[in-house]
Structure 1
Amino acid sequence: MASTNRSASDAAENKMSPRTKWAIAGFIAGGSLAGLVGAGSSALAVYFARRVITPAARHEDQEVLAVIRGDKGPQVILAATPDSTIDGVFSLFFSGGQGHARIGRIVSYSPAEQTVLREVEEVYSGNLSEARRGWWSGATYPDPAAIGLAAEDVNITVDGGTAPAWLIRADASSPAPVWAIMVHGRGATRLEGLRAVRTARDLGLDSLLISYRNDGLAPSALDGRYGLGSTEWHDVEAAIDYALEHGAKEVVLFGWSMGGAISLQTADLSKHRHLIRALVLDAPVINWVNVMAHHAEMNRIPYTVGRYGQLMLGHPLGRRLTGLAAPVDLKAMDWEARAVELRTPTLVIHSLDDDYVPFGPSASLAEKNPEMVTFEPFNGARHTKEWNVDPERWERVVHSWLQRELAPRNNPGQADAAVQGSAPGQPGING
């Protein structure tokens, strides 16, 4: 195997232009990147590339000013930030993640003082009154019990061990023929998928909320680096294996952010891709080059430096600096360019003000492949928080679209009856 990998690497290197080889050699030697950037810029490119693929602890960047008693219960005064001033239901994690509170509607907002007062719907753990800082999240609930659902704790066999997951049945008496597999985003956990479980259950789907490499629950990858979807999809395939072994006939993949990129890779590469009935993607990464260019611009990193950071991720010689066990093929994960190759029905939900993963490639994917892709734009939700700002609309859109996709394919009359006979909150085609 090592010989095969070496031959592939040598072949890839031989195809490169002398200028590109010189540039990468400059990185390895700490040189000048073909004379285009200096040593300081080389170091910046290395830093930029490593930041993209290295799991990091959550930063407590939300200031908590006070907790007070309101007319209807506790309220929290927060420093006004782009996240904390969006109305809806969110989470505030504090005390290094040991504390967790569900934060509700905005009571008042003072632009002059740069503070916002919000309702505290529930404190699941920790003492919010003692918190001074925390981080904001769209992962609203701590576990299935918080949404009134029973779950089985199951373990899925993956590379390096077992990955814990929650299995939530639509009908406790028997497995559903179609399962929803929830794939969370970069830096998140399986909590992220809890927002979609009730919709899946209304449609008669069993839900499997998985963990995958480097997320803090599943075994870490040997190199400790994200593959941006190029490696993580193997863990989703293992989850599909589990579903099929336990009664599923087909699956629907739900993916948030990088979980969307992982889901797309699974639909493209898995041996079970013919059993993936549909994809539901929330703020997905459709084009990593676009995302990396966006973040380079936001962080005022020169274009050339950002491009060389991308080059390091994709070439075998860059591994010595990035720590990757294998190069990441960003081109293979560019679904904007590969749009017509996507043959799995896909719903893409994306907020137009997402400043973390820009919505442009999502809209472009739908425009280039309208037969397979439906694009549903939201406003004012920022990144992966479309459900949080408008749960009724999110659930309605997903329920309606999935119901059509899951309806029997060979009998149009029966399909029409199925679509008309179920609504959000009522039993669906399987229930």
Structure 2
Amino acid sequence: MGSRRAGAAGASPAAAAAVKTSIVALAGALGLTLAALGTVSMRVARKVVTPAGRVPDTELLAVDVPAQTVTLSRTDDTQLPGRYGLFTTGTASYVKVGAVLSLDGTSVKRKLLTQITPDDRLSAAAAFSGWYYDAPEELHLPFRTELVGSPLGPCPAWFFPADGPTGAPSDTWVIQIHGRGTTRAEALRAVPVFHAAGISSLLVSYRNDGEAPRSRTGTYMLGATEWRDVDAAVGAARRRGAKRVFLMGWSMGGAIALQVALNSAHRDLIAGIILESPAIDWRVVLDYQADLLRIPAPVATTAVRALDSDWGSRLLGLNAPIPFDTLDVVARAAELRHPILILHSDDDGFVPADASYQLAQARPDLVELEVFQVARHTKLWNYDPERWTRVIRDWLDRRAAGAGS
């Protein structure tokens, strides 16, 4: 024992210097690692809140003009049955595609539903879309373009009036709220089912979506501020004679709809909420996407902490931290007061259905969950329009019966 202590105390100056050098090197490496972690985490956090344009996600491999078919690179989305849209560039910016005609390991051939001529030239870089309709005129229903006054200024909207049971203008409205990185055109495919039910549709825009006014920072707040623009639309509906208002939110629009239901001064007007592939708990969504993109867990965790903190929000240029606890509607389930219909696909691929299941379990008295398979994110109408329409129509009929009782 004594000789070992003496040996340690008598270490040579060279050995002591080597130990000190190793400690300094390790500290430096740790510092660089933490700095790199912080840098990557902030990039991830910034991407979450920065509105982005449409990103090509498939390749247009061939167009057969005589047969009116298009061949696309095969992905989980491009191989889906049903009717979809394809954003591209060239002589056409948007074309519609229909049935899958054939597929192999790398490509999918689909029927073209938009006429393409020999003179047309389409870019190979394309984005596959569930919109199908990209302009209100395509519905062949009366509509008008309006402006909804919001806290940031006028927000463009489309209004599709419907007649009530007596033939007079309907006093029941639905406000359609599109998702992240899209516009109000996303919700056009939902208008016919509501119009047939005698419900007028208002398709709204909200801050930083590329159509509505830009906030000072120009960033998304994942529903924490956007709900105010939609709430302004609810108030406008009330002033124009609406007695009942449904909210329908798509993806991030679902998060916005839920915040309106929880915070609006017009909550008494809300008759129910329909959620399509909704973001109900953002932590679940961001964890899933980080795993999908193979982002290391420490990076993803640090990114969420940055978004939810004073220091992080300052570095990211946000007006305030993103309140993930406030946006977690599963945790706030006891506060809900309105009937909710959720439509979600188990293989959504972007917003997992976990929180939808959890909300349905937390509030079975209010929440009905209709689970799809295969349909992917916000493409449930495209994949199975008959079922999608029937589920919403039946749910609306039950609400109407309840209102009349």
CA deviations over 1:259-312 (Å, ceiling 9, x no partner) = 000000000001011211100000100100111111121222222221121111
Q: Which sections of structure 1, spanning at least 5 residues, go unmatched?
A: 1-30, 412-431
CA deviations over 1:140-198 (Å, ceiling 9, x no partner) = 11222212112111111123321111100112974311101000000111111111111
Name the residue aligned to 1:277. 271
Matched, 1:238 2:232: yes
Paired with 1:56 and 1:117, the residues of 2 have a C-alpha distance of 29
Indicate if the aligned counterparts of 1:213 and 1:219 stay in contact, CA closer than 8 A. Answer: yes
Paired with 2:31 and 2:393, the residues of 1 have a C-alpha distance of 55
Name the residue aligned to 2:246. 252
Indicate if the aligned counterparts of 1:102 and 1:124 stay in contact, CA closer than 8 A. Answer: no
TM-fit CA distance, 1:47:
0.8
Give the 3-state SS of the residue equivalent to 1:77 in structure 2. Answer: strand
Residue 229 of structure 1, aligned match among 205, 218, 223: 223
TM-fit CA distance, 1:69:
3.5
What letter corresponds to residue 122 of structure 2 in structure 1? E
Give the 3-state SS of the residue equivalent to 1:332 in structure 2. Answer: helix
Name the residue aligned to 2:53. 57
Indicate if the aligned counterparts of 1:66 and 1:129 stay in contact, CA closer than 8 A. Answer: no
Name the residue aligned to 1:220. 214
Indicate if the aligned counterparts of 1:348 and 1:373 stay in contact, CA closer than 8 A. Answer: yes
Paired with 1:358 and 1:79, the residues of 2 have a C-alpha distance of 24
Name the residue aligned to 2:22. none
What letter corresponds to residue 139 of structure 2 in structure 1? I
What letter corresponds to residue 338 of structure 1 in structure 2? R
TM-fit CA distance, 1:340:
2.4
Identity %: 41
Map of 1:7-406 to 2, 5 A cutoff? 38-69=34-65, 74-95=68-89, 99-111=93-105, 114-122=106-114, 129-171=121-163, 174-406=168-400
Aligned length: 376
Give the 3-state SS of the residue equivalent to 2:331 in structure 1. Answer: coil
Residues 37 and 401 of structure 1: is their aligned pair in 2 closer, same or farther, counting only changes over 3 Å? Answer: farther
What TM-score do the two structures reach when normalised by structure 1? 0.83
Q: Which has the larger radius of gyration?
A: 2
Give the 3-state SS of the residue equivalent to 1:328 in structure 2. Answer: coil
What TM-score do the two structures reach when normalised by structure 2? 0.88
Give the 3-state SS of the residue equivalent to 2:236 in structure 1. Answer: helix
Name the residue aligned to 2:5. none
Q: Which sections of structure 2, spanning at least 5 residues, go unmatched?
A: 1-26
Name the residue aligned to 1:422. none
Residues 86 and 70 of structure 1: is their aligned pair in 2 closer, same or farther, counting only changes over 3 Å? Answer: farther
What letter corresponds to residue 115 of structure 1 in structure 2? S
What letter corresponds to residue 94 of structure 1 in structure 2? T
CA deviations over 1:317-359 (Å, ceiling 9, x no partner) = 2122211111110011111222222221000000000121000
Give the 3-state SS of the residue equivalent to 1:331 in structure 2. Answer: helix
Name the residue aligned to 1:417. none
Instruction: Write out the 4+ residue segments of structure 1 that deviate beyond 6 Å after TM superposition.
Output: none
Residues 63 and 410 of structure 1: is their aligned pair in 2 closer, same or farther, counting only changes over 3 Å? Answer: closer
Residues 100 and 77 of structure 1: is their aligned pair in 2 closer, same or farther, counting only changes over 3 Å? Answer: same
RMSD: 2.3
Paired with 1:123 and 1:209, the residues of 2 have a C-alpha distance of 28
TM-fit CA distance, 1:36:
11
Residues 340 and 35 of structure 1: is their aligned pair in 2 closer, same or farther, counting only changes over 3 Å? Answer: farther
Indicate if the aligned counterparts of 1:99 and 1:128 stay in contact, CA closer than 8 A. Answer: no
TM-fit CA distance, 1:37:
5.8
CA deviations over 1:78-115 (Å, ceiling 9, x no partner) = 1111111111111101118961111111011122xx11
Paired with 2:90 and 2:337, the residues of 1 have a C-alpha distance of 42
Indicate if the aligned counterparts of 1:144 and 1:150 stay in contact, CA closer than 8 A. Answer: no
